[in-house]
């Protein structure tokens, strides 16, 4: 199991900040916790990866994977509600 932090989430995908190295266009299983310990499990396709030297990673924490959500295995409804709430707060 590899770990990372989700960032910049949307209804169609997310950025996962991680030192993981995956090539674009592969499908990976992702599991993450939402508030109240609700678990979301998805299959996501890697769309791009941002890689910087380890010095840059330590300074800016920029390494990551762009993920497009392909399929929900659990937590779809609560994830979509979270996205809707975030969008309302931004408006």
The confidence score (pLDDT) of residue 61 equals: 55
CA distance linking residue 73 with residue 28, whole number of Å: 12
- Taking only the tens place, the pLDDT of each residue in 25-76 is 999 999 999 888 899 999 999 987 665 555 544 544 556 888 999 999 999 9
Domains and CATH numbers, the chain: 5-90 (2.40.10)
Tokens standing for residue 12: 């169609």
The confidence score (pLDDT) of residue 62 equals: 57
Tokens standing for residue 1: 């199991």
CA distance linking residue 1 with residue 39, whole number of Å: 16
What contacts 72, CB < 8 A, 6 or more positions away?
40, 41, 42, 79
The confidence score (pLDDT) of residue 51 equals: 57
CA distance linking residue 17 with residue 80, whole number of Å: 21
Of residues 3 and 44, the one with the higher pLDDT is 44
Is the model's pLDDT at 20 over the cut of 50? yes
pLDDT average, residue stretch 3-26: 85
pTM: 0.79
């Amino acid at each position: 199991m590899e770990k990372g932090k989700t960032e910049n989430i949307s209804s169609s995908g997310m950025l996962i900040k991680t030192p993981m190295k995956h090539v674009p266009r592969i499908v990976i299983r992702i599991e993450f916790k939402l508030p109240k310990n609700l678990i979301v499990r998805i299959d996501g396709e890697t769309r791009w990866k941002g890689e910087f030297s380890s010095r840059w990673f330590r300074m800016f924490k920029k390494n990551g994977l762009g993920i497009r959500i392909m399929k929900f295995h659990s937590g779809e409804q609560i994830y979509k509600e979270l996205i809707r709430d975030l969008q309302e707060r931004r408006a």
